[in-house]
Structures are given as structure tokens and as C-alpha cells.
Chain A
Amino acid sequence: QVQLQESGPGLVRPSQTLSLTCTVSGDSISSGDYCYNWIRQPPGKGLEWIGNIYDNGKTYYTPSLTSRASISLDASNNQFSLRLNSVTAADTAFYYCARGLGTVPMDYWGQGILVTVSP
């Protein structure tokens, strides 16, 4: 059974960098043509896709975050990560990681982690 779990600090200071990791268990992160996604949901709002990375290293981002977001893979630890620079209160949200394959965009999801940006 594939499982994903987000981890990282729950509080980040404004202008600092948000760093989250998603650990994949039950399958190797490099075992197929998967894509690994980050999605967020600000409190009381809808879902926003942040970006993803394929196992060949190709990345895609939503335009509003392209200049601040970076997604990377760590096959040795079966993890992938999100870094978001220069955060503001608007980046306060539940952050989810998710895996997709082929024609199935995001079928396995982590439980989510709340990140608050506050002084």
C-alpha cells in the first residue's frame, strides 16, 4: 500500500523559506513514470496546484509561484520536497503532496500539513 506523509515546520516567519518534505512508502520513488505533486489549500479556500516533478527531473509550476517555488526529488531517501521562498501570510495553508501516474493525475495523497506564516 503506497503512503505519502508530509513533514516540516508548522510555523515559518515572513520573508523566510518554507521547506516541506514528502516521504513515500510502499513503493520506490523511481520505480516508474510517476509525477510527484504539491497542492495547497489556504484556510476557507479551495485547492491550488503548486507544481510537480517527474522522475526524469522535469518540473512544472503554477505561474504565480514559479519565481518562488522549487520541487526536487531525493531518490536515496524516497522523498520529494518543496521549497517556497520569501513567504508572506498569503502562503499560510494546508500543504498536500500527491503522486500521479500516466493518465491518473493524483491518486495517492498525504494527509496534509498546516503551515502558518507569522512573525
Chain B
Amino acid sequence: DIQMTQSPSTLSASVGDRVTITCRASQNINIWLAWYQHKPGKAPKLLIYKASSLDYGVPSTFSGSGSGTEFTLTINGLQPDDFATYYCQQYNRYPWTFGQGTKVDIK
């Protein structure tokens, strides 16, 4: 299985901050990486697919980059609605696997 490792596990930030989350794959996954936002009691929401493509309706404050084994999710100008847990997920090879999650909370 391909292991996905996110850092940090928890991140404390303020509204307006620029936030960066890193995701590393245990082997080359090309660009086959997605990012999801998850809030308690709600369905996970796809933010980014193919490492850097924004899903429909996702604010441009979110961006993704990377290829191979190292990827980043950046939030430019954190908004109150952005406090949540973020997961990366590889879909280069079965079984699909998620990172352990990064919780973004209020400083």
C-alpha cells in the first residue's frame, strides 16, 4: 500500500493567515492526489484533484501543488469557515489511501 503522511497533525492559526499543509507519499504517485476538507457531522468536501485542479465552487484562496512524492495545500487568507480537518488522498494505485489528517484550529 502507498502510505500518505501529512504534517503537521494540528495547526493553530488566525483568520487572515496563510496556511500550508504538506503531504508526502511513500512512493511516486505522479499527480494523482486529492485534498478534502472535513467538518464534524458533515460529508467531506473535495477541494483539489490532480494535485492542483480546484473543484467547482472552491474558493481561489485554496491552492495545491506538487508531484511525485511531495505535495502541499495552501490556504491564502484563512476564513472562519476554513477551520476544519484536511486530508490528502492518493489515487495513483489501489488501494486508495488517505493521510492521517491535519486539524486547523483557531489560535
A47 touches B98 (CB 8 A): yes
How many pairs of A and B residues are in contact by the CB < 8 Å rule? 63
* Contact A103/B100 with A96-B43, A110-B43 known, Cβ cut-off 8 Å: no
CB distance from A69 to the nearest CB of B (A): 11
CB distance from A2 to the nearest CB of B (A): 12
B95 touches A104 (CB 8 A): no
A49 touches B46 (CB 8 A): no
Residues of B within 8 A of A105 (CB): 34, 46, 49, 89, 91, 96
* Contact A48/B98 with A103-B49, A104-B55, A105-B89 known, Cβ cut-off 8 Å: yes
B98 touches A46 (CB 8 A): yes
Q: B64 interface residue, CB < 8 Å from A?
A: no
* Contact A60/B95 with A47-B87, A47-B101 known, Cβ cut-off 8 Å: yes
Residues of B within 8 A of A119 (CB): none
C-alpha spacing A51/B44, complex, angstroms: 16
B101 touches A46 (CB 8 A): yes
* Contact A49/B89 with A60-B95, A61-B95 known, Cβ cut-off 8 Å: yes
Interface residues on B, range: 20 to 34
Q: Mark B1-19, 1 if CB is under 8 A from A, else 0.
A: 1000000000000000000
CB distance from B45 to the nearest CB of A (A): 8
Residues of A within 8 A of B43 (CB): 96, 109-112
CB distance from A30 to the nearest CB of B (A): 22
A47-B44, A96-B44, A109-B43 known, 10 other contacts, Cβ within 8 Å:
A46-B87, A46-B100, A46-B101, A47-B89, A48-B98, A62-B96, A104-B49, A107-B55, A111-B43, A112-B43
In the complex, 13 of the A-B residue pairs with CB atoms within 8 angstroms, ordered by the A residue number, are A47-B87, A47-B101, A49-B95, A49-B96, A103-B49, A104-B46, A105-B89, A105-B91, A106-B36, A106-B46, A106-B89, A112-B42, A112-B43
Please name the 3 residue pairs, one residue from A and one from B, whose CB atoms are nearest each other, closest first.
A109-B43, A62-B95, A105-B91
